[in-house]
Amino acid sequence: MMTLTVREIAQLSHGLVSDLADPAAPVIGPVVVDSRRVTRGCLFVAVSGARVDGHEFVAQAVADGAPVVLASRPVAVPAVVVGDTVRALGDLARGYLHRLASPVVVGITGSSGKTGTKDIVGQLLTTLAPTVAPEGSLNTEVGLPLTVLRADADTRYLVLEYSARGLDHIAYLCGIARPQVGIVLNVGAAHLGEFGSRTAVAQAKGELVEALPDDGLAVLNADDDAVVAMASRTGARVVTFGLGRQADIRAVDVVLDELARPTFRMLTARGDVEVSLSLHGAHHVSNALAAAAVALELGLDVEAVAAGLARSQAVSRWRMQVSERSDGVVVINDAYNANPESMKAALAALGAMGSGGDSARTPRRMRAVLGVMAELGPTAATAHREVGAAAALIGVHQLVVVGTAAQGIADGAIEAGLDPARITVVDGVAEAVSLVEKDLSHGDIVLVKASRSADLQRVAEALLGGPNSQAGAHE
Ligand SMILES: Nc1ncnc2c1ncn2[C@@H]1O[C@H](COP(=O)(O)OP(=O)(O)OP(=O)(O)O)[C@@H](O)[C@H]1O
Ligand SMILES: [Mg+2]
């Protein structure tokens, strides 16, 4: 972050400097909402969450080195006092971004794959110029401004993830950081419970391209009708990506290796190139094409894009994170979150690995430990059964369903013909681990996936010998 004085923070956040604070004191950043992340010179923002109220930690934050805190009421430490700290954080980020030498903001939205794509875009653009991208999945009215505030005078590209749980959420985030380039990945069933319909999800995601300036660029998924339709909602130029013929940037001849890593030929207006991803799962082809579209637009040539894509790693943890144990067992930790599309994508990847990839090496036994998909509303029952059917279709050797809320997965698998003897519904993590561990043998592949609330990364970690011993773990 570029240094700001307490007075400047108050001006940008429309707040008042409390008597205890020195208006001229410098704040060097970072801006944090978690008191455990306070470092000397940082700004602590007290956010009232569902479980904890940040105002309870202001004294600790100052003791740990914050020269000032942002609070919604006078507190007994130096503060900038505002009406609503989340709004004020947004105002601060907006005002701060205006002061920078206008970095190009690349915005990413969609139901699945925002963080994964953000990581690819970030890794490609860093090869061009200083780039700031969120840590993990900071994509809300709190997380997005925190990332904006990490940029500084040298930042040329600012990659941001825009999430929505309702209408106007993305428009609000675009009001803080207006994207110049906007990617819409897909419109799926994530958070359907809150939105009510896929049409409403599309309406919300499209707010990203509505915010683009006329000289901006909308990067749209040609394979998703609801995304293509967003072209009419923007004055910006449109570039499409996908596997279908109509896409401007297109992947053909997609082949998966024995760990479901895709290789394909990328066709672009600037030439064609062979691409091999280090990421696992055919669904990453689409994300890689979207990232390629942005990188080509911003000045990388096709060869450099292909090289950058080949190097791109899954830097955010628990998303298709593939680790091999010393005994040859492969564990896929995809437990970060789950919705019907990402469940089916993960099962397709498991199926590809189980059959030995497209070059048909030796088949391997597939096991799936699956838990609930949350926030799906009335579609939840059908969605769980469909996932069970998908597991049956790839022919899993063992299906462990964790938690009765996910029972539908077991029912769907049985309906689709999977031998009930291969299916067990268990209560929790410990039971799932011991069940899978019991007859695991060399070469078996275990997929672990559910919504965040199910905490299934603990299953993957236990299978790999504990949270700290996990090979290739990333924050
Ligand atoms: N294009 C895609 N289609 C289906 N699933 C995908 C796609 N891209 C990524 N996924 C899967 O979706 C899950 C979540 O990925 P990621 O965290 O990148 O998504 P996100 O959109 O950032 O999610 P969140 O809304 O929680 O921030 C992972 O299991 C990932 O493998
Ligand atoms: Mg995310």
Rg (CA), the chain: 23
Question: CA 94 to CA 92: how far, in whole Å?
Answer: 6
Ramachandran quadrant class, 239 (left: phi over 0; alpha: psi -120 to 50; beta: rest)? beta
pLDDT for position 467: 59
pLDDT tens track for 99-108:
997 799 999 9
Position 140 scores a pLDDT of: 95
The pLDDT of residue 469 is: 41
Residues with CB under 5 A from ligand 2 (ion): 114-115, 137
Average pLDDT value for the chain: 95
Ligand 1 centre and the CA of 110: distance in Å? 9
What's the pLDDT at 361?
Answer: 75
Burial class (CB within 10 angstroms; exposed 0-12, middle 13-18, buried 19+) of 225: exposed
Q: What is the pLDDT of residues 82-91, one digit of tens each?
A: 999 999 999 9
From the CB of residue 346, how many other CB atoms can be counted at a distance below 10 Å?
27
Which atom belonging to ligand 1 lies closest to the Cα atom of 116? 18
Q: Are 142 and 33 in contact (CB under 8 A)?
A: yes
**Which band of pLDDT confidence, cut at 50, 70 and 90, is reported for residue 192?**
confident
Q: Which ligand number lies closest to the CA of residue 164?
A: 1
Q: How far apart are CA 257 and CA 444, in angstroms?
A: 16
pLDDT in tens, 310-345: 999 988 999 999 999 999 999 999 999 999 999 999
Return the structure tokens found at 243.
């596997």
Would the pLDDT of 181 be above 90? yes
**Ligand 1 atom closest to residue 342's alpha carbon, by position in its atom list:** 5
- Read off φ and ψ for residue 331, nearest 5 degrees: -115, 125
- Is it the case that residue 475 has pLDDT exceeding 70? no
With a 6 Å cutoff on the Cβ, whether 139 touches ligand 1 is yes
- Look at residue 16 and give its three-state secondary structure: strand
pLDDT above 90: residue 357: no
Tens digits of per-residue pLDDT, 458-472? 999 999 996 544 344
Across 119-132, average pLDDT: 97
Six token digits for residue 55: 């105002």
- The beta-carbon contacts of 468-473 under 8 Å, at least 24 apart in sequence, are 470/321, 470/323, 470/333, 471/323, 471/324, 472/321, 472/322, 472/323, 473/317, 473/321
300 confidence band (pLDDT: 50, 70, 90): very high
Q: What is the mean pLDDT of residues 249-262?
A: 97
Q: Report which ligand 1 atom has the smallest distance to the Cα of 286.
A: 1
Q: Which amino acid is at 436?
A: V
pLDDT digit string, tens, across residues 259-287: 999 999 999 999 999 999 999 999 999 99
Integer Cα distance of 454 and 384 in angstroms: 15
Q: Looking at the chain, how many residues does it have?
A: 475
pLDDT digit string, tens, across residues 27-85: 999 999 999 999 999 999 999 988 899 999 999 999 999 999 999 999 999 999 999 99
Starting from the CA of residue 337, give the closest ligand.
1
Q: pLDDT confidence of 362, banded at 50, 70, 90? A: confident
* Distance of alpha carbon 185 from alpha carbon 286, whole angstroms: 8
Instruction: Tell me which of 160-169, 193-202, 338-347 is least confident.
Output: 193-202
pLDDT digits (tens, 9 = 90+) for 1-14: 999 999 999 999 99
pTM for this entry = 0.94
From the CA of 290, the nearest ligand is 1
Ligand 1, pocket-test mutation among 312, 322, 337, 341, most atoms within 8 A of CB: 337
On whether the CB atoms of residues 446 and 436 are closer than 8 A, the answer is: yes
Q: Which pLDDT score, from 0 to 100, does residue 474 have?
A: 33
448 bridge partner residues: 333, 369
**pLDDT score for 466:** 66
Would you say the CB of residue 333 lies under 6 angstroms from ligand 1? no
